[in-house]
Structure formats: structure tokens, C-alpha cells
Structure 1
Amino acid sequence: MAKDYKKLAEGIVKNIGGSENVSHLEHCSTRLRFSIKNQAKVNVEELKKTSGVLGVVQTGTQTQVIIGNDVIEAYEEVLKLGTFEAGGTVADDKDSKQNVGLGAKALDFLVGVFQPLVPAIAGAGILKAFLSLFVLLGLLQNTNPVYILLFNAADAALYFLPLMVAATMSKKLNMNQVVAIAIVGVTILPKITAALAEGFVVGGYTLQNIAYPYQVFPALLIVTVLYFVEKFFNKISPKAIRIFFVPMMCFVIVSPLALFVLGPLGFNIGQLITTFILWLYNTLGWVAVALLAAILPFMISMGMHKALLPYAVSSITNAGFEVLYMPASLAHNIAEGGACLGVAFKTKNENLRAAAISAGISGIFGITEPALYGVTLQHRKAMTGVVAGALIGGLVIGLAHIKAFVAMGPGLAGMAMFVDPTNPSNIIWAFVGFAVSLIVSFAVSFVLYKDEA
């Protein structure tokens, strides 16, 4: 029986407070993410009762409606029911009466900037991983024209990452997107890159030689300053000349700042964060991976895991790999799937069994929200299985020093993200961690779970 996505969308929009209560809408792999003007108008209990909604999470200015694998169909139907503005923040909305903390605003901002980047980064990254796997197995040569074409096509999503950050961030801040992309683009112009490499001297000052492609933090700082410059000149500029005067002044002021100050500062911030995480990992090692894996279900339930995404993207683009968040996510994701399958085998409730089987399969493939909100958060014994499987699987993964080479939700379909051409055992140990997380979580859930009276 086909699902009624129109009815689902109508229920969501009604209980979210109507389209007029939404300042920004986007979706990830399983959730509709609404930036809300007034959270008091959101009817959370009715949202949870809506058929097709797996759960609701409120964090600061965001209300996240968990849909599961049907999120794209639901998103398209929601868009038909109102005019949902892209960009705009609660701080800019005069009708907003909620008192939102700085941390919640920062998390909402990070999600708005980085979440739209994930599909392109993950798709490109997994393609590169499969190409590396084919070379490792001798099925393809890295001199093959097909390999060269596809590898460079996939690399484009990372090479132009500064421009992609400029696009999503300017959209979130309701700025002129084209101007933002163009000004950030100054940093990756071939002539600028060549001049920096040769020693670009301006007014007796030699600019720091930085390769800006693949970078995240320089673009974040550049667009932040651009936001205030654009806002200032929009305010003082006569309307008759605003169309060209404001962009011109943005180029004149922000472009030099980008190369003199903002770009180097952002680059060094990114390097510092990556260095700190690597130091933490090298100091705590397997303990850090295991502990993060064990607490991930609670972080995800509150949306806090998204705060780790900028680090993961930066680490992969700077160091070429990531050793903490993605490996821990592998242990957690598979543990969610194993725990659900344990419940499915134990329960006598037909509806729960069907939901647990579907959620378990999704979890094994890296999509955990159906498992988390449909099964494990609702059943304490099942969550015990998740934590146990994630912790022990995380121990194995941490001890093996597994590296991830793609920023995406790890699962069976994306295990190529652990292919290391210089270390073939990396993916082998990733599968070992996969198996340990699955077996432990399944066993603990199967033994402990009992149907409630």
C-alpha cells in the first residue's frame, strides 16, 4: 500500500505552526529540519502522533521531524504547502519571541551550512573509495582514462569545497550568494595560487602561501566578514546605485582581507583543530573512539552530533583521513541495527517485529534514525544493547586505528570509505569492528529484551 505523503505533509505543516512559522527548511538523509520562528507554536505531541513521523527533536531554533527513508518524498510534499524561505535566522526575525541560547543558535547555523554539503561530499568520497578499491584489487589501473576522469570528477566536490561553503553559508545568512561565491573564489583562482606559491608581496608584506582549495574555515571567516560589509553598504548606499555599488565595495574591502588576514587565519584554525583532535586521539586512542561510539545515540537524539561534522570534513580535506567521528559512527550505526534485529527475534508483537526488522536493516546500511526513534529509544533494554555493541565495537576499531576517508554515515553500503591504498588491513579491521558491534548488540538485546505487559 502506497504511503499518503500529502496527508503526512499536511499534518507536519499544521503542527509545526504553519509555513509562516518557518524561517528555513531543509532535509538530511532521514529528517526534515525546520528553523522555527516561535517554538511555542509547535505542537510536538501531535507531530509525534502523525502517521509517518518517527520522532521529533527540538534543539534551540530547530524542530527536526524524523521521517526515515521517505524523507525526500515528504520534503517535496511539504514544499507544495507553503512558501518556505531559504535563509533567515531567528535573530533576524522580529516576530520571534523565543529566548534561544548562543549554543543552540551556533548548532542551528552549523547544520544549515554543512548539512547541504554532505550528499556531494559523501557521493564523491565513496566514488573515490571504490576507485581506490578497484586499483587495490587490480581491476583498474590509475593510468586508465576512465579512472582519471572519474577520480577527478569526484575530486571536484572537495576541490571546490570553499565555494560550496560560501553558497550554503550565504544562503543561511540570506546574503547575495553570487557575490559570496565570487569573493571566496578569489582565493582559489589559478593566478592567485601561482602568485602565492612564488611569493606574493603586497606593500612589502609577503602573503602566506596557502593552497585554498579543499579548505573549510577560510571560507567561513570570509563570508562572516562579507555579511557585515554587505549589510553596512546596503544600509548607507543610495538605492539607485545599490545594485553595483554594494558588490563593488564588497570586492574592494573583503578580497584583500581574505588574502591578508581571513584566509590565513581560517587555514591555521583548521590546522589547529585537526592537530588537537589527532593529539587527543593519539593520547586516548581506542578509549576516545569507544566512548564516543557509546554516547552517539544520545548525541544524535539531541542533534548534537552535527557539531562534529565541520571537524570531520576539515580533517579529511586537510589530513586526508579522519580517525575519531566516522570510525565511532561505524560502531554505533551497526550496533543500532544489531539491537533492532535482536528485538525483532525476541518480541511477539507483530507490529514491533516489522518495525524492528526494517529499522535494523536501515541501521546496518548506515541510516540510524528509524532504529533510534522507532525502537531503541523506546525500549531501555534495546538501548543497552546499542551502547554495549557500540562500546565494544568501538574498542576494536580504536585499537586497530581505523581511518575513514569519506565524511558520510558509515554502513554496509559505504564500507569502501575505509579503503586505504597504503594499508589494505584498514578495511579488514573495519569489517571486524562491524561484525563485533553487530554480534554484541544483537546478543545483548536478544538476552535482555522482554515484551512489556
Structure 2
Amino acid sequence: MANKNYTQLAKEIVQKVGGKENIVSVVNCMTRLRFVLKEENRAKDGDVKEIKGVQGVIKQGGQYQVIIGTHVNEVIKDVQKEIGDLPPVDNQTDMKLMKDGSTFNRLFKVITGCIMPSLGVMIASGIIKGLLAVLTTVGLLTNTDGTYLILYATANAAMYFLPIIVGFNAGKVFGCNQYVTAVIGAALVYPDIIAIKDAGTAISFLKMPVVLMNYTNSLFPVILAAWFAAKVEKISKKIIPTMLQLMFVPTVTLLLAVPVAYLAIGPVMTIISNGLSAVVMAIFNNFPIFGGIVFGAFWQVMVLLGLHAAFIPVLFNNLFTLGSDPVNAILGLTVWALAGVSLGYALRIKDKEKKSMGFGNMVSCLCGVTEPTIYSIALPNFKLFIAAFIGGGISGGILAGLGGRMYSFVGDGFFRIPAMINPEGLDVSFYGFLICAAIAFIVSSVLAFVFAGKETTKKV
């Protein structure tokens, strides 16, 4: 779509989602406008879907997501011009929106709210890690070189100090002072405490024993600690006089939240998260091929239905705490399967405009953006989605059987490849992923070509 049409597109979208007065906030990802609405039922789904330039609508995780395509970063500029400066959202409204929906939806809101703002820097860290692994494997760097050490610090900092980053984001999610929750995260990874833990020295707080654990790379302890801090802050503001709140509300919050995090929240959440990871790993250790087939075939459907919210916390935790994850490796293959569907569709279709769309969607998939293929090709002709299920399932089963793992947090498509490089050197995860990505792509493209059928090949 030409840039001159975005103003009209923006006006129609804002109008159909209930107008400016119904919009709490709007951001964008790679392909979607993500609205938080005051009243979601005021948005007219059917009318939004009919807008020229809109590929679909998803309601997920408390967001009203309007699928635009890879030019969404241009569209949002006109949307923001249309809505102007939105009034600030107070903590009570923010928390009410956070509490809406099912348990899974609320959990999904919290996890995404704590992770998504930092997604770009995490992906950058993963790419740099993959680059370092390649450079050391081919002998251009050693792990004692100054260049390597500086780049390694750059790549590892975001994950090592993850509690600080997540703590800052969690403050916004729970309506708490973000600098306070960031300091809580920093306290959990304070070097002197980590050194005491590594030395095996026992410590106590006010004569209460502290179970020391390593919270670097951790996700859940600081999230729950931030939630607790938000409760403390809210109560403190009711008790402490307004003129003293600037100094003493953060003081009281930190004095209570950090010790509670060390005494209770941290150990409990670490045990729970490690337990969840152990369950997933046990399944993949005992039934790897079955798990690979299920996740490879049906992950995209889980995402469409919102069922993936149940798995997201575990997948994040595996990668952040264990350093690798077999499930994330398999999920990367589903993108290659959809790219294959786009190619098969493009080769079979006769209409020039749709053929061009198919090839364009294939490129988008290979760059990690699947929504155009899902909503303009696969869903309108569900047999093509089945082609992706089969390609993803076969390749997922093979990769799981080989023991493939993902080692860092990056994007999809070609950008997933560096994440498959073991920091200790190229192994079956890397080579297996390349082979299985090719299998997913080829199988899905062939089946999509076959499944497209006469109706798809008609000229429009």
C-alpha cells in the first residue's frame, strides 16, 4: 500500500475500534497494531476486518491486535497522529486491565508485559552470541582475546542481569515505581551475595536462615517480588504523609520487598520454575519424537487459539535458566513450514497479484514474520494450513529425535539459525536445524502446491 493511503487507513481503524476515547494505548510489533482498549466490545471486529489494508484481527492477552503487515511501523505513525496524545492511565485503570480475562490471559499479559519491551535487546544479545560462536569455531577468536571478552560481555549482559531489566518492566505492569522494582532485581544479582552463595557460606536475615540461589538469568522471582512491592507501595502511600512519600515510600518498599524476595519468593519461585522445566525436559527426554511432532505441527494453531499462553512461561524459563531449550528449537521450524506454504501457493496460483503476494509472504516468513501467510493464504484455504502442519510435524519430530536445542533468544526464519549454535561449537543442533528447516520448507511447499486445488488456481 502506498504511503499516501495510510492516513485514511488509520482513521478507519481508530473509528472501528471504538474511537480515540476507547483507546488506552497502542504499540506495534513487526506486523500488528496492538491496542489496549477500555471496552473491547465497542470494537467492531467485522468492520475492522473489512478495512482495506487490514489482514485480520486477534484478541489475545488483553490486546486488540489489528494485523497490518510488515509496513505497520509506517501505519502506526498515522494512527498516533489520529489519536493524538492519550490521557495518562492511572495505576488502578492499568491494574484493572491487567486483571481482565482468564487466568491464562492474565498470566500472558504479565509475562509479555515484563518481557516484550526488552525483546529487541534480547534478540540482539542472541545474535551476538551466535556470531561469537561462529568466530570461535572457525578460529578467528579465542575465549581469551580481549575482543571476545568485550563482545561476550555485550552479549551476556542482558541475560545475566535479566532480573534488573524484567524488574523495571514489571514495575510498569504492576503499577509500581519502576526504579524500585529494578533495584529489587539488582539486589537479587548483587555480586557479593552471589560470591557468598558460590562459596557455600550460610547466611541469615534477622536470625532467619536464607536459602541462597543464583538469580542471574532468572525470570519469575523478580516478577513476583515486583508484584509484592506494588502491594507494599500501595499500602505505604495510604499511611505515609504526601510530603514524605518521595523518600519513605521507596525506602519502606525496598526494606520489605528485598528481604521477602530472598527469604521466600526467590527460593519458592525458583523451585516451581525448575520443576516446570523438569517436567518439559522429562517429556522430551523420554518421548522426544512425539513432543517434536506435536509442537511442530500444532504450535501455530495454539497461537491462534491463545493456548500457547500456558507454555510461554516454561519456554522462557528453560532458555533463561538452563541456557538451552528443545521446544524453542522446534517452534522455529513452523516458520519455515509456512514459508514453504507460501512458495507452493505462489507456484500454483495463476493470478499475478496473488502470485506476487505468495512470493512476498515467503520472504516475510523467512525474515520471521508469518502473519501475512497465515491470514492471507493459510486460513482462507485451510488445506494449505494442513500442509504447514505436516511439514512442521515431520521436521519437528526429526529435530527432536536428533536432540536439537536453541541456545539464545533471537527472531525467526533466517534469524533463528544463529541461536542454534552451541557456545561450545557447531553440533547436531545447528546442522540438524538446517536439515529440518529444509525438510519443513520442501514438504510444505510440495503439499501446498498439491492441496491448492482448482479453486485456488482460478484467475480473479
1:357 aligns with 359
Q: 1:5 to 1:151 in 2, by over 3 A?
A: farther
The reply on whether 1:69 has 2:70 as its aligned counterpart is yes
The reply on whether 1:223 has 2:208 as its aligned counterpart is no
- Superposition deviation, residue 310 in structure 1: 2.9
The Cα offsets for residues 341-370 of structure 1, whole Å up to 9 and x where unpaired, read as 100000112222122111111112322111
Within a 5 Å distance, the mapping from 1:17-96 to structure 2 comes to 17-59=18-60, 61-80=62-81, 81-84=83-86, 85=88, 92-93=95-96
- Quick check: 2:132–2:148 contact (8 Å CA) kept in 1? yes
1:381 aligns with 383
Question: Which has the higher mean CA deviation after the structures are superposed, 103-112 or 380-389?
Answer: 103-112
Q: 1:13 to 1:172 in 2, by over 3 A?
A: farther
Partner Cα separation in structure 2 for residue 87 and residue 328 of structure 1: 41
Partner Cα separation in structure 2 for residue 122 and residue 12 of structure 1: 30
- Superposition deviation, residue 116 in structure 1: 2.1
What amino acid does structure 2 have at the position aligned with 1:257? V
- Quick check: 2:28–2:34 contact (8 Å CA) kept in 1? yes
- Quick check: 2:33–2:76 contact (8 Å CA) kept in 1? yes
- Quick check: 2:284–2:400 contact (8 Å CA) kept in 1? no
Q: 1:89 to 1:348 in 2, by over 3 A?
A: farther
- Quick check: 1:25–1:86 contact (8 Å CA) kept in 2? no
Which one of the candidate residues 412, 415, 427 is aligned to 1:413?
Answer: 415
What amino acid does structure 2 have at the position aligned with 1:403? R
Percent sequence identity over matched residues? 26
Report the 3-state secondary structure (helix = DSSP H, G, I; strand = E; otherwise coil) of the residue aligned with 2:326.
coil
Alignment TM-score, normalising by the size of structure 1: 0.92
Partner Cα separation in structure 2 for residue 196 and residue 141 of structure 1: 30
Question: Which has the higher mean CA deviation after the structures are superposed, 259-268 or 299-308?
Answer: 299-308
- Quick check: 1:170–1:177 contact (8 Å CA) kept in 2? yes
Partner Cα separation in structure 2 for residue 323 and residue 231 of structure 1: 41
- Superposition deviation, residue 86 in structure 1: 6.8
The reply on whether 1:201 has 2:192 as its aligned counterpart is no
2:128 aligns with 127
- Superposition deviation, residue 92 in structure 1: 4.3
Partner Cα separation in structure 1 for residue 361 and residue 109 of structure 2: 27
1:445 aligns with 448
Within a 5 Å distance, the mapping from 1:14-413 to structure 2 comes to 14-59=15-60, 61-80=62-81, 81-84=83-86, 85=88, 92-93=95-96, 100-197=101-198, 198-324=201-327, 326-413=328-415
Partner Cα separation in structure 2 for residue 33 and residue 238 of structure 1: 39
The Cα offsets for residues 382-437 of structure 1, whole Å up to 9 and x where unpaired, read as 11211111111112111111110123343123311111235523211111100100
- Superposition deviation, residue 75 in structure 1: 3.1
- Superposition deviation, residue 93 in structure 1: 4.7
Q: 1:373 to 1:86 in 2, by over 3 A?
A: farther
- Superposition deviation, residue 287 in structure 1: 1.0
- Superposition deviation, residue 89 in structure 1: 7.5
Partner Cα separation in structure 2 for residue 99 and residue 185 of structure 1: 30
Partner Cα separation in structure 1 for residue 100 and residue 96 of structure 2: 12
Corresponding residue pairs, total: 450
Report the 3-state secondary structure (helix = DSSP H, G, I; strand = E; otherwise coil) of the residue aligned with 2:311.
helix
- Quick check: 1:129–1:416 contact (8 Å CA) kept in 2? yes
What amino acid does structure 2 have at the position aligned with 1:290? I
Q: CA RMSD in A?
A: 2.4
Report the 3-state secondary structure (helix = DSSP H, G, I; strand = E; otherwise coil) of the residue aligned with 2:53.
coil
- Superposition deviation, residue 446 in structure 1: 0.4
What amino acid does structure 2 have at the position aligned with 1:145? G
Partner Cα separation in structure 2 for residue 311 and residue 388 of structure 1: 25
Q: 1:353 to 1:35 in 2, by over 3 A?
A: same
- Quick check: 1:107–1:304 contact (8 Å CA) kept in 2? no
- Superposition deviation, residue 306 in structure 1: 4.9
- Superposition deviation, residue 270 in structure 1: 2.0
- Quick check: 1:402–1:429 contact (8 Å CA) kept in 2? yes
Report the 3-state secondary structure (helix = DSSP H, G, I; strand = E; otherwise coil) of the residue aligned with 2:24.
strand
Partner Cα separation in structure 2 for residue 27 and residue 157 of structure 1: 22
Partner Cα separation in structure 2 for residue 333 and residue 190 of structure 1: 40
- Superposition deviation, residue 316 in structure 1: 1.8
Q: 1:169 to 1:371 in 2, by over 3 A?
A: same
Q: 1:135 to 1:267 in 2, by over 3 A?
A: same
Partner Cα separation in structure 1 for residue 140 and residue 193 of structure 2: 39
Which runs of structure 1 show a deviation greater than 4 angstroms over 4 or more consecutive aligned residues?
A: 84-94
What amino acid does structure 2 have at the position aligned with 1:46? D
Partner Cα separation in structure 1 for residue 368 and residue 53 of structure 2: 20
Report the 3-state secondary structure (helix = DSSP H, G, I; strand = E; otherwise coil) of the residue aligned with 2:227.
helix
Question: Which has the higher mean CA deviation after the structures are superposed, 152-161 or 99-108?
Answer: 99-108
The Cα offsets for residues 216-246 of structure 1, whole Å up to 9 and x where unpaired, read as 1111110011111111112233222222221
What amino acid does structure 2 have at the position aligned with 1:428? Y
Query: Where in structure 2 are there 5+ consecutive unaligned residues?
Result: none
What amino acid does structure 2 have at the position aligned with 1:436? I
Q: 1:313 to 1:60 in 2, by over 3 A?
A: closer
What amino acid does structure 2 have at the position aligned with 1:178? Y
Partner Cα separation in structure 2 for residue 30 and residue 406 of structure 1: 23
Q: 1:350 to 1:89 in 2, by over 3 A?
A: farther
- Quick check: 2:323–2:408 contact (8 Å CA) kept in 1? no
- Superposition deviation, residue 17 in structure 1: 1.5
Question: Which has the higher mean CA deviation after the structures are superposed, 310-319 or 128-137?
Answer: 310-319
Report the 3-state secondary structure (helix = DSSP H, G, I; strand = E; otherwise coil) of the residue aligned with 2:280.
helix
Q: 1:90 to 1:285 in 2, by over 3 A?
A: farther
